Amino acid sequence: MPAALGFATIALFLLLTMTRRVSVLVALVVLPVLAALAGGFAGELGGMVLDGLSKVAPTGIMIAFAVLYFSLMVDAGLFDPLIRGLLRMAKGDPLRVTVATAVLTLCVALDGDGASTFLITVSALLPVYRKLGMSPLVLSGVVCLGAGVMNMIPWGGPTVRAMAALKLESSDVFTPVLPAMGLGIAWVLVASWLIGRRERRRLGALTGPGGETAAGEPVAAAAPAPGDGPGAVRVAAPVPRWLTVFNLLLTVVLLVALILEVMPLPVLFVLGFAVALLVNHPSWEQQQALLDRHAKNVVLVTTMIFAAGVFTGVLTGTGMIDDMAEALVSVIPDSVGGHLPVLVAVTGMPLSLVFTPDAYYFGVLPVLAETAHGFGTDPAEIARAAILGQMTTGFPLSPLTAATFILVGMSGVQLGEHQRFIFRWAFATTLVMTAGAVLTGALSL
């Protein structure tokens, strides 16, 4: 019963949100509550919801202050040199901008944290997309692809969870799939080129020799900030050079501290934003104006995160997630047992829409590994297969991960639109890497 309720809840959620029948926030809260009531968990509902909210609270705090921090830096012009460099390189060509988006994402994502990757890349690139009239779905989609592949690095979430769940080393899990990861990176660049070519056809190539877009706008004009409306042009006051240097150093120190985990991520962003706000806007009036200007962005993203906490809290507390994992394994026939690694890799990406990262790696993966061991397959192969799909190419699409709502919230796109736009490209990434893993012997067929 709990497994059936869980699968029905997930399916109904995907149906309602992808067809835009209800908002994601409403679906995240209402559907699991109805499922819990139907399953007879009314008396425990309050505790489960509170537990889910408590678990995502640190993420919500981090995102709120991270959005404010990077919004402040965009307003201060910290990313303007990067934007101008991209515009000069792209020359207003949507295809070049799209490929540059992929390259930038692949570099930024080396920190292994999807949230910070989305915050940095979207903050830097959204003004470029708006200026050129490009679809924000292209931005969210290409960032999704790049961040997904780079999430395989040993300090990224999937690999860390897989190693912890099966008590394996990086040399057992990550090293054998390095060639496959290389193919994945190559595919992301190819996919971004194809997506960019399609966007170029939609908008039209450059027509003016002086660097004008098809609409006749000079591409070097000031870019809008993330909080501005579509088509808005940000007219920023000149920023003193010492302040730009301070902001750059502060951002570098913050990123290094994030990578080294000097303090918990929420604490780092709270402290970083407080310092940046005090130095960049020393007066109360200036500080209040900045908070007012970016309050909408903060509310849109954080409310989604807390709503996702309700969703996962109820599904976990009712036991739906555990029963769904057992039901999934029980339907695997003996005839496909020997092909389990490839099956895990191919199905991992779609399953990221159903299972949270912790639920999959600490609930489903050990059962799959034990099942594979019974068929004579090394459990390390199952771990490799899992990181090729589940929460690697799937995490920037899943409604069960907070980072997804950072990406779609800051890009200004609907979750269902984002999923429809990039799902096939992300799934193709999994297939490419799986094929590479089979060819290089990392997975047995």
Cβ-contact 320, 2 below 8 angstroms? yes
pLDDT at 50 over 90: yes
Amino acid type, 13:
F
- Name the pLDDT band for 391 (thresholds 50, 70, 90): low
Residues 163 and 387 sit within 8 Å (Cβ to Cβ): no
Does residue 215 carry a pLDDT above 60? no
**Is the confidence at residue 246, as pLDDT, over 90?**
yes
Number of C-beta neighbours around residue 444 at 10 A: 16
Whole-number percent of the chain with pLDDT over 70: 88
| Confidence (pLDDT) at 46 | 92
pLDDT of amino acid 207? 45
Least confident of 116-125, 132-141, 326-335: 326-335
Distances in Å between the alpha carbon of 203 and those of 132, 140, 207, 250? 9, 18, 11, 38
pLDDT in tens, 8-37: 887 888 788 767 788 878 888 999 999 999
Q: What is the pLDDT of residue 390?
A: 65
Q: Can you give the pLDDT at residue 216?
A: 35
CB atoms < 10 A from the CB of 58, how many? 14
Residue 424 confidence (pLDDT): 92
Positive/negative CA dihedral, 271, 272, 275, 278: negative
pLDDT at 73 over 60: yes
Q: What is the DSSP letter of 222?
A: P
Q: What is the mean pLDDT of residues 221-234?
A: 39
The region that residue 332 occupies, defined by phi over 0 for left and psi between -120 and 50 for alpha, beta otherwise, is beta
Nearest CA-CA partner of 413 in 111, 104, 137, 183: 137
Least confident of 34-38, 147-151, 303-307: 303-307
Q: Which residues contact 68 (CB under 8 A, 6 or more apart)?
A: 273, 277, 290, 291, 294, 298
pLDDT at position 221, please?
A: 35
Task: Give residue 49's pLDDT band: very low, low, confident or very high (50, 70, 90).
Answer: very high
CA–CA gap between residue 225 and residue 126 (Å, rounded): 8
Highest mean pLDDT among 159-163, 333-337, 385-389: 385-389
SS3 category, 8: helix
How far, in Å, CA of 237 to CA of 248, rounded? 18
Which DSSP string do the residues of 123-161 spell out, in sequence order?
A: HHHHHHHHHHT--HHHHHHHHHHHHHHHTTSTTSHHHHH
Q: Distance (Å, rounded) from C-alpha 172 to C-alpha 386?
A: 13
Nearest CA to 142 among 159, 160, 117?
117
272-281 pLDDT, tens digit per residue, is 999 999 999 9
Both tokens of residue 418? 């984002």
**Token couple for 147:** 């961040």
Distance, in Å, from the CA atom of 217 to the CA atom of 96, rounded to the nearest integer, reads 18
Summarised one tens digit per residue, pLDDT across range 87-115 is: 778 777 899 999 999 998 988 887 666 77
Give the model's confidence band at 230: pLDDT under 50 very low, under 70 low, under 90 confident, else very high: very low
Give the pLDDT band (50/70/90) at residue 402. Answer: confident
224: left (phi over 0), alpha (psi -120 to 50) or beta: beta
* Tokens representing residue 148 in the block: 């997904």
Q: What is the mean pLDDT of the chain?
A: 82
Instruction: Mark out the alpha helices in 133-240 (DSSP H runs).
Output: 136-150, 157-166, 170-173, 178-203
What distance in Å separates the CA atoms of residue 428 and residue 437, rounded to the nearest whole number? Answer: 14
Dist CA 435 CA 395 (whole Å)? 20
- Looking from the CA of 77 toward its CB, the CA atoms found within 13 Å total 16
Q: For residues 353 and 402, is the Cβ–Cβ distance under 8 A?
A: no
Sign of the alpha-carbon torsion through 80, 81, 86, 87: positive
pTM exceeds 0.95:
no
Average the pLDDT over each of 56-60, 174-178, 219-223, 334-338 and give the range with the smallest value: 219-223
